[in-house]
Amino acid sequence: MDTRGVFGLERSSSGKSLQIVIAGISNLDVVFRPESKSSNMVANKRRIEARSWGDISHQPVLAVHGRQDNAATFNHLIPLLPRGKYHFLCIDLPGHGLSSHFPAGLLYRVLTDYIITVRKVVDHFKWRQVIYMGHSLGGLVGYYFAGAFPELVKKLIVIDIMSHSNLPTHHHTELIRHYYEKLHEFEEKSLTKQPPRYSYKEALSRVITGRPSELSITSAKTLLTRDLKQVSEDRYIFCKDQRVKFLVFPIISNEQHMALLSSVRCPLLLIMGNQSSLKNFALAQELLQMFKKNCEEFRYFVVEGGHDLHLNNPEIVAPLVTNFLNSLKSSL
């Protein structure tokens, strides 16, 4: 994504829509709906789509989804949160949901592409400080973003990810080769084959069976609202870019990774599901102790649920998030 440009703001005279113009980067058009607002940012004919709740003048909460998910992942949780004081903006990361895909020949990189995307959204709205909420991959991006730009993150909320487990350093060259081979395989298939088409029932089944833990039918249907494009009667293709399946995580050791996370200083809420395998991160105890030592405030909860606890059990997650949002402590 081209991230050069100068920011400007235009408001429509009707008061029903908000147009934000980023010269050289993107346009964001927010159309008001009764319960939420839909928006998109266009960057060189590529879009970053978003959904928002609440008054745009309130304290911003930027919410970022997990890998292969989209902004709808927060549809069950946010209605249970105190929207009277906060403006929630949930984005589709590039290659996910309704957002555009990267050009051919490129891979999606967590440590650069997605962190830059988040920074550009923050800059776009001229937010002085943001509360960041992320699930899974979105939480990992949040750790990195809070560490790289501590002055911009007021609070950090992470749902079901401790950290990303990295391969030992002697496997790093193999990993680089793996990324190339996956990209080459994808490009070869793209030249000769059209995207697979599914019935709605088949697409729903693929979403449910492809999760690291149980996902309810209701939750799966929610995710599909931003991940399916109908191409004929009861035939659909997935919107997501298949390249996000081999997303490029930082090629660093666990020790280097921990050093990056040691830069997180803001108040942090970490919620893990008791049925999630991700709580078994190899350096979990070391990481928890580090957050307890370094963060201005650290709250850690293990609650009933699997990896998608915020979707399946939002009534369990919401009180923890609400209490943390309304707490007085915040980074300066």
Supply φ then ψ for residue 235, to 5 degrees: -130, 130
Q: How far is CA 55 from the centre of its chain?
A: 21
Count of Cβ atoms closer than 10 Å to residue 142 Cβ: 27
Q: Classify domain 6-167+248-326 at the CATH topology level.
A: Rossmann fold (3.40.50)
Count of Cβ atoms closer than 10 Å to residue 75 Cβ: 22
The answer to whether 306 and 69 are in contact (CB under 8 A) is: no
Contacts of 96 (CB under 8 A, 6+ apart): 65, 67, 68, 69, 70, 240, 241, 244
Count of Cβ atoms closer than 10 Å to residue 216 Cβ: 14
Contacts of 32 (CB under 8 A, 6+ apart): 16, 17
Contacts of 273 (CB under 8 A, 6+ apart): 160, 213, 279, 302, 303, 304, 305, 306, 307, 308, 309
Mind listing the pLDDT tens digit for each residue in 273-330? Answer: 999 877 666 678 889 999 999 999 999 999 999 999 999 999 999 999 999 999 975 5
Q: How far is CA 81 from the centre of its chain?
A: 18
Domain ranges of the chain: 6-167+248-326
Residue from 177, 67, 62 nearest 113 by CA: 67
Rounded to 5°, angle at Cα 188 from 65 and 116: 30
Catalytic residues: 136
Instruction: Return d(Cα 85, Cα 258) in angstroms, integer.
Output: 34
Count of positions (residues) in the chain: 332
Supply φ then ψ for residue 145, to 5 degrees: -65, -45
Supply φ then ψ for residue 207, to 5 degrees: -65, -45
* H-type alpha helices, the chain: 115-124, 137-148, 172-192, 200-209, 217-224, 254-261, 284-294, 309-312, 314-326
Low-confidence residues of the chain, pLDDT below 70?
A: 1-46, 165-167, 279-282, 329-332
Residue from 87, 88, 90, 124 nearest 1 by CA: 124
Q: Classify the C-alpha dihedral 67-249-243-37 as positive or negative.
A: positive
Chain position carrying tokens 């996956």: 182
pLDDT at 257: 85
Consecutive H or E run containing 20: strand 17-23
